Amino acid sequence: MKYKASCHCGNVSFEFDGEIAEALACNCSICQRKGSLLWFLPRSGMRLLTPEDAAATYTFNKHVIRHRFCPTCGIHPYGEGVDAQGNEMAAINIRCVEDIDLASIPVRHFDGRSV
């Protein structure tokens, strides 16, 4: 299925294909504050519809995840990183996906605080 997602003001938007079978809720210091529900896919599967520099980047701790957010409205639509095998990955905040029924998607809780 093809999805479209964006920040609140639309300055950061993208599309991707896939089947969102579940989302991940992480309790690390940033995810808990943002309230993101994350779904992961290879970074090559996410196509930006706005310029790369439309999103600002925040990193912390080990600086391995690039938390991408809109500098205008402050919404965090996705993050970027590398999986354990070295593949570039995207973490989509499914709360930013258009026309999605969040209540129908099971949420798996991840203890990122202890990692």
Q: In what order do the strands lie in the sheet with 23-26?
A: 56-58, 66-69, 78-82, 88-93, 38-42, 23-26, 107-110
CATH of the domain at 92: 2.170.150.70
What range defines the domain where residue 16 resides? 2-110
The first and second tokens of residue 49, run together, are 């519809």
Residue 45 lies in a domain: yes
Q: With 90 as the cut, is the pLDDT of residue 113 above it?
A: no
Residue 42 lies in a domain: yes
This model's pTM is above 0.85: yes
What integer pLDDT is reported at residue 63 of this predicted model? 85
Mean pLDDT (whole number) for 84-99? 96
Structural domains of the chain, count: 1
Residue 115 lies in a domain: no
Residue 52 lies in a domain: yes
pLDDT digits (tens, 9 = 90+) for 19-76: 999 999 999 889 999 999 999 999 999 999 999 999 999 998 888 899 999 999 999 9
Q: Nearest-CA neighbor of 115 among 70, 87, 92, 81?
A: 81
Residue 76 lies in a domain: yes
